[in-house]
Amino acid sequence: MADYILRMKGPDAKGLIYRVTQVLFENKCNVIRQDEYVSPDDQFFMRTDFSFEGELSKDKILGDLQKNISFDALEITLNQKAKKNIILFCTKEHHCLAEIITRHYFGELNAHIVAVVSNHEVLKPYVDKFGIPYHFVNAENLSREQHEAEVFKITDLYTFDHMVLAKYMRILTPTFVNRFADKIINIHHSFLPAFIGANPYKQAYDRGVKIIGATAHFVNDMLDEGPIIAQGTKEVDHRHSAADMAREGRDVEKMVLINALKLVLDDRVFVHGNRTVVL
């Protein structure tokens, strides 16, 4: 018996749930959990978690669905539940990276870390302890394009489903973003869209906020503007300096990134324009 995830996205139509569940029923699939959502602009999203005894013919299911639904505009994916491959990027801060690596080491993460890439060497000794390849790609004296060209030589060595920017403090070129379109998850150290850009905790301190936050989002070619997956907040007060806010914020950042990563690894996140639907 194996578990599968069927995901659908596309224009809504009457009877979609009925037609899909009919196919699953007639193919003796056992639905464990099913969630649907129809957006105000009439897009249909569905995630079905089902089990199947014996060997499932994906072609048969997809063929039956195609016959029964026949909406060309629908995006459909059907995959056996399995660990995803992820590649991690970091700079000097350890908290997000170590959180992911610790969970990976203890088998808590539904993913395999293929490598860590960084523009600094500082986190290499930590990563080495866990036997994960660490690639230091020095950015000194290189243009942004030249540095990314060096990075691509590394990423070309690996196959991965998602790239996690675990506090990778480099601005990405559109070339980079497009090369890994829809694959990049970033943690931004503010409650977006507040404090876009550099030094958000300094900005937050100057503004005198009473709550700080962090935002995990997909990266598109607009800085800090991609679809938000998860956010978290924490109360602060006048006693918190910008440095204190940064320190407190790191706890929020790592938990928000982990929460977002879990959702993505469980195939629960759909991108819908600049928003996400989480089923």
Q: b/e map of 120-155 (b: 16 or more CB within 10 Å)?
A: eeebeebbeeeebebbebebeeeeeeebbeebeebb
By C-beta, is 24 or 177 nearer to its own copies? Answer: 24
Structure tokens at 226: 């991609």
By C-beta, is 23 or 164 nearer to its own copies? Answer: 23
Check residue 70 for interaction with its own copies (CB under 8 A): no
Residue 48: CB minimum distance to its own copies, A: 10
Check residue 182 for interaction with its own copies (CB under 8 A): no
CA torsion 145→148→149→151, rounded to 10°?
Answer: 170
Check residue 53 for interaction with its own copies (CB under 8 A): no
Q: Is 224 known to be catalytic?
A: yes
Residue window 200-229: x/- pattern of binding to its own copies, with contact defined by CB under 8 A:
------xxxxxx-x-------------xxx
d(CA 225, CA 202): 20
Q: Which of 84, 101, 102 is closest to 265 using CA atoms?
A: 84
- Interacting residue with its own copies among 79, 80, 175, 274 (CB under 8 A): 274
d(CA 178, CA 165): 15
> Backbone phi, then psi, for 254, in 5-degree steps?
-70, -35
d(CA 242, CA 200): 9
Structure tokens at 107: 């088998």
> Backbone phi, then psi, for 231, in 5-degree steps?
-140, 160
- Interacting residue with its own copies among 126, 136, 152, 158 (CB under 8 A): 126
Residue window 27-46: x/- pattern of binding to its own copies, with contact defined by CB under 8 A:
-x-xxxxxxxxxxx------
Residue 4: CB minimum distance to its own copies, A: 15
Structure tokens at 38: 């129809």
**Using CB under 8 A, which residues numbered 242 to 261 contact its own copies?**
251, 255, 258
Catalytic residue among 161, 224, 251, 266: 224
Beta strands in 98-253 (DSSP E): 111-118, 134-136, 162-165, 184-188, 211-218, 228-235
By C-beta, is 76 or 98 nearer to its own copies? Answer: 98
Check residue 232 for interaction with its own copies (CB under 8 A): yes
Residue 47: CB minimum distance to its own copies, A: 12
d(CA 125, CA 11): 50
- Interacting residue with its own copies among 10, 71, 76, 105 (CB under 8 A): 105
Check residue 59 for interaction with its own copies (CB under 8 A): no
Catalytic residue set? 224
Interface with its own copies (CB under 8 A): 14-15, 17-18, 21-22, 24-25, 28, 30-40, 94-95, 98-99, 102, 105-106, 126, 129-130, 191-195, 206-211, 213, 227-233, 237-239, 241, 251, 255, 258, 272-278
